[in-house]
Structure 1
């Protein structure tokens, strides 16, 4: 398997030009992630995904952030599902299950096979300015476990793989990692009683885990400002050895300020894989993807081998896309609207999120 399999890359625009197609054909990335810049119409999204699949010698991960609310890329061409907080506050398990089911159905229709959710972070403050506003399934660990678990099982039941994020939990973060590196000072016993509980409970039914760009002083006391996504103590000793996770691990986007401001690009790529991540994510500086591939050559062979094995094992569970039809899209879209109304009420359902990036760059990404 090519080292390109360890790369999860963004795509420049809504269609593949010949130059981009040639680059991806040569690089053979392990997966692709789509953002708002890639989404114009239902038919265009499906064609782009089919084209990406056609370029790939090995079935690629085709992924997106489709959580609900403002972090729902597909709301650019359809209805906006309610967010986790709205569903949590409504307190109706049937609606959460329906949200998971519809999320799985719409993603399968477009050809996605992995969704970057559920968020397992705990909301200590629903107004905190740390990119999590509206995205958390609970205000305490058990509420996160209950709600995220229902969503996760329903979505996976439709054939979409899931990704728990942001490990080991950045509910306590006081700044937005898209811009700066949060430093979290909780002790390991405190983490076990809070942030880590949803992972302990749900890891057996999660396909992948996204490691986050926060510094945890409990796990890296000798390395100030060292992000968890690059930490062997977090990604291997904690996630794999202590919590027993054998699935796919990936970094959050390495183009975020919490990484760019702290380490070099070469460090970010190599240390992420040495730490225990299998996929490194480059969402925006796409001109760096070939360089990332070169930097991977500097990582020790046994580490690369283990990552490639986990990627191959996870890809065996990928499910082929559903046939595309606009009628089917229209039906799922109506169902998403009905879910939105059932969750928020007719009046509030009319108020869609404004995509202005003022709450967090996560909206524009």
Structure 2
């Protein structure tokens, strides 16, 4: 039996359709044996339901699964559908109180662990050069320069990990200079290698020992792929293997951003995206919304030669040894943490602004509408 038969599903991070697993979906997932699951607002109905869903996903997995979510704060807070919305990174940055950021990290780690979610897809390490830019980052950045990002994101990251939830830094190498939203189009970034090393890459090099995983992004960096100006970073061997791994020395888990996004689908075939992501040096391909595409992705991965997937499987195995066990769930525990999140919101924004939640008007990035 080759590793393709038994373990290839470990390289898949999949979304699931709904708030519970019907027998057909459970059977498909049992056969797929994906390495992880990513949750969205469509998967949330109540605190008890979410914990049961996470338990059910564990039960059908032969290997302890990654269960992950985007819980950053502000509009990118999936849990706001069943609880309070924490302040976002920019609001915490503007308040300029390290103790509040520490509380945000601690509470985020605690609430996710209570549900059995073991990896949070944050902190965002992008630098904001324009807080109003239409590049998917509005409200999500911890700094307007590299040092501010390192300080603030570092506080959040340490507090969340101490509370028992693993972290994923994103979006490598950095969306800060992007002029469009990768959910829809491929951003082209023209900074030189020297400029990137002095700006975008600094938070990654500084925080590298404290990052459990890194998400690779869908933007083209001309300095690293001058021969292919339409190649997204997530599919670039020069960026994932040569830059992130060989040059910066990252040996943790590398996960692609969703491969079902415009920046990918408009540029390459699905087969090229799946195989290219692993060839580039990623360990996990993320497909958020269509289970049939995940099943197709597994077939594309099985077509890769053993040596290509070997390193990814080794890193995955190493990562999974760090996965924290869920906390014992009670509704009382949830209510206490949820109340503390509301207090954090008030302490950051004041009573009046705290009551004004993020609005899903569809005019911002689709990142919040998934």
User: What's the TM-score once normalised by structure 1's chain length?
Assistant: 0.99
- Structure 2, unaligned stretches of length 5 or more? 1-5
Map 1:308-323 onto structure 2 (within 5 A): 308-323=313-328
One of 258, 261, 266 as aligned partner of 1:261: 266
Query: What is the CA-CA distance between 1:286 and the residue it aligns to?
Result: 1.8
Map 1:175-194 onto structure 2 (within 5 A): 175-194=180-199
Map 1:78-93 onto structure 2 (within 5 A): 78-93=83-98
| Counterpart-to-counterpart distance in 2, 1:77 and 1:242 | 42
Deviations 1:108-143 (A, max 9, x none): 010000000000000000000111000000000000
Deviations 1:239-293 (A, max 9, x none): 0000000000010000110001000000000000000000000001221111100
Deviations 1:273-318 (A, max 9, x none): 0000000000012211111000002222112010000000000000
* Residue 134, structure 1, aligned to residue 139, structure 2: yes
Could you say which residue in structure 1 is the equivalent of 2:118? 113
Could you say which residue in structure 1 is the equivalent of 2:349? 344
RMSD of equivalent CA atoms:
0.6
One of 23, 28, 48 as aligned partner of 1:43: 48
One of 2, 8, 25 as aligned partner of 1:20: 25
Match of 2:178, SS state, is coil
Could you say which residue in structure 2 is the equivalent of 1:356? 361
One of 269, 284, 291 as aligned partner of 1:286: 291
Match of 2:166, SS state, is coil
* Residue 325, structure 1, aligned to residue 330, structure 2: yes
Question: How many pairs are equivalent?
Answer: 365
* Residue 276, structure 1, aligned to residue 281, structure 2: yes
One of 10, 16, 19 as aligned partner of 1:11: 16
Match of 1:345, SS state, is helix
| Counterpart-to-counterpart distance in 1, 2:296 and 2:80 | 33
Match of 1:234, SS state, is helix
| Counterpart-to-counterpart distance in 1, 2:272 and 2:154 | 35
One of 173, 177, 184 as aligned partner of 2:178: 173
Deviations 1:197-221 (A, max 9, x none): 0001001100000000000000000
* Residue 206, structure 1, aligned to residue 223, structure 2: no
Map 1:68-83 onto structure 2 (within 5 A): 68-83=73-88
| Counterpart-to-counterpart distance in 1, 2:323 and 2:9 | 18
Query: What is the CA-CA distance between 1:74 and the residue it aligns to?
Result: 0.1
User: What's the TM-score once normalised by structure 2's chain length?
Assistant: 0.98
| Counterpart-to-counterpart distance in 2, 1:44 and 1:3 | 30
- Structure 1, unaligned stretches of length 5 or more? none
Contact 1:356–1:363 under 8 Å retained in 2: no
Contact 1:178–1:256 under 8 Å retained in 2: yes
| 348-357 vs 225-234, greater mean Cα deviation | 348-357
| Counterpart-to-counterpart distance in 2, 1:356 and 1:333 | 25
One of 23, 30, 34 as aligned partner of 2:35: 30
| Counterpart-to-counterpart distance in 1, 2:107 and 2:271 | 40
Query: What is the CA-CA distance between 1:12 and the residue it aligns to?
Result: 0.4
